Amino acid sequence: MKTQFRHHRGSGSFRDLIRLSQRIRRRIAVGNRSHSDRNIRRGSGSFRDDRRANIHSLDNRDKKSLPRLVALAALTLLTAALAGCAVEPWVKPYERANLADPIMSFEREPVSGGYLNHVYQARESGRGAEGGQGGGCGCN
């Protein structure tokens, strides 16, 4: 895949994005009424133009701000999460037999894990990011 990076024409790129999102949203609304409009999304030239227009050349940014990068990464996740996105999972919900096993949980025994963290926190300076959540079967 080859993607071109070009300077953007103006500063209204985010407004464009919002407008685009609204357009997508309208299509979702249409899609809910009728299932026959899938092709609209495929061909539409305006989307391609938008794509080129919105990817900037990023080389001349100030390079001092690592925290900004971290914040950006966090924001990416937040944005994606808020958008309610879901990709086609490469591990399907019905393929989670092993992941659903309690032995695969990061926090099988919350009361015990919490206590041991407390012990380490009392005897060591290190604190935070002890981890714990996640895994599971994705069962409802």
Rule CB under 8 A: which of 9-68 touch other proteins? Answer: 11, 13-15, 17-18, 20-22, 24-25, 27-28, 31-32, 35, 38, 41-42, 47, 50-51, 54-56, 58-59, 61-63, 68
Classify the C-alpha dihedral 18-21-23-25 as positive or negative: negative
Selection from 76, 60, 80 nearest residue 68 by Cα: 76
Q: What is the nearest approach in angstroms of other proteins to the Cβ of residue 69?
A: 6
Q: How many residues bind other proteins (CB under 8 A)?
A: 98
Rule CB under 8 A: which of 75-104 touch other proteins? Answer: 75-101, 103-104
Radius of gyration of the chain (CA): 22
Does 6 engage in binding with other proteins (CB under 8 A)?
no
Does 138 engage in binding with other proteins (CB under 8 A)?
yes
Q: What long-range pairs does 103-111 form, CB within 8 A, spacing at least 24?
A: 104/135, 105/135, 105/136, 106/131, 106/132, 106/133, 106/134, 106/135, 107/132, 107/133
Rule CB under 8 A: which of 110-129 touch other proteins? Answer: 110-112, 114-116, 119-120, 123-129
